[in-house]
Homo-oligomer: A and B are copies of this chain.
Amino acid sequence: MATHPAARGLDDDCAVIAIGGETLVLTHDMMVEGVHFVPGQDAADIAWKLVATNMSDLAAKGAVPVGVLLGYMLGRDDARFLVGLGEALDHYGAPLLGGDTVSGPAGAQALGLTAIGRATHRPVPARSGAQAGDRVWITGPVGAAMLGLEALRAGAGNSLAYRRPRALLAQGQALAPMVNAMMDVSDGLLLDAARIARASGVTLAIDSAAIPIATPESRRAEALRWGDDYQLLFTAPAALAPPVPAHAIGHVLAATGSPLLLDGMPLSEADGLGYQHRAERD
């Protein structure tokens, strides 16, 4: 998710601080009812997603979770929230270290989670390290969460990919020593690729047909612009054979007029590269 305006120019979605010989990675994501989750959605799924999105930020840094702090506004189904929270924290091996619970007035529920991780490799991967000549990779298909949200809204079909996204912690740790740039795809592959390009001062040339998608071919263009799949997007020297399953989807070029070339055509954010907030969309 987006960083605060005043924090722009700091390291990506995460803060990276050196403490006592260790490097800590800290991230905070906020979710608001009606913006980041569908009103009426199972609170256990909301809790899972809140944890998973933060764990995915740690994954992109190759970090191991140390624990989380929760900011919790009491909602309609606190017991279900705690169930999902427990499931997610157990899954990711991240203890609940503390936090704050507040009563909420009538209106949208807001939730915040801070995740603390320990870097396994230094320098910690950032968006800003892509080098001309790198190959661009993604760990898996995009578009699954889009189909999941549609299934959830239809009340039929498999909505798991939207409700219970998986953060790729092990993959991020394996990749951290080998990549030049890395981030998790939370807001849409094309948008996030443009962010790497801009942060690195390069152009990413993406081959759309090479991108693995979870959707029918007819929906490829949408899949490239939807978020919430939490795959890892990374660039690495062309000779690298990634140590985890990954798909080569393009190359890094010296900066051109546009941060992003899709099948050779320049794209800009004005072209609708992605969406910040899924639940707002329709």
**Is the Cβ of A3 less than 8 Å from the Cβ of B118?**
no
Give the residues from 88 to 120 in chain A that come closer than 8 angstroms, CB to CB, to chain B: 96-108, 110, 112, 114, 116, 118
In the assembled complex, A13 has its CB within 8 A of some CB on chain B: yes
* Structural contact, B17 and A19, CB atoms closer than 8 A: no
**What is the copy number of this chain in the assembly?**
2
A85 contact from B6, B29, B36, Cβ within 8 A: B6
Name the residue on B nearest A106 (C-beta). Answer: B107
Q: Is A247 an interface residue (CB 8 A)?
A: no
Query: Looking at the complex, which one of B26, B72, B99 makes contact with A98 (CB distance below 8 Å)?
Result: B26
Q: What CA separation (Å) do A10 and B67 show in the bound complex?
A: 13
A interface secondary structure, majority: strand
| Nearest CB in chain B: distance from A177 CB, A | 19
Total count of chain A residues near the partner, CB < 8 A: 59
Instruction: Identify which of B36, B66, B105 contacts A32 (C-beta below 8 A).
Output: B105
Bound complex: CA of A144 vs CA of B17, how far in Å? 37
Contact B105 A6 (CB under 8 A): no
Identify which of A24, A66, A67, A118 gathers the most chain B CB atoms within 10 Å of its CB.
A24
Q: Which residues of B contact A82 (CB under 8 A)?
A: 5-6
Do the beta carbons of B1 and A98 come within 8 Å of each other? no
> Which residue of the partner chain, among B6, B66, B114, contacts A114 with CB atoms under 8 Å?
B114
A28 and B110 form a contact (CB under 8 A): no
**Shortest Cβ gap from A25 to chain B (Å):** 10
A141 interface residue (CB < 8 Å to B): no
**When chains A and B are docked, how far (Å) is the Cα of A190 from the Cα of B247?**
61
A97: contacting residue among B17, B96, B99, CB under 8 A: B17
Measured between beta carbons, the chain B residues less than 8 angstroms from A101 are: 1-5, 30
17 further A-B contacts with Cβ under 8 Å, apart from A1-B102, A4-B72, A13-B98, are A4-B96, A4-B101, A7-B99, A10-B97, A14-B98, A19-B22, A19-B118, A26-B98, A28-B69, A28-B70, A28-B98, A30-B110, A30-B112, A32-B73, A32-B103, A102-B110, A110-B110
Q: List 29 A-B contacts (CB under 8 A).
A: A3-B99, A3-B100, A4-B72, A4-B96, A6-B86, A7-B96, A7-B97, A7-B98, A7-B99, A17-B97, A19-B19, A19-B118, A20-B22, A21-B21, A22-B22, A26-B116, A27-B69, A28-B70, A28-B98, A29-B100, A30-B101, A30-B102, A32-B103, A33-B105, A35-B102, A103-B277, A103-B280, A107-B107, A114-B114
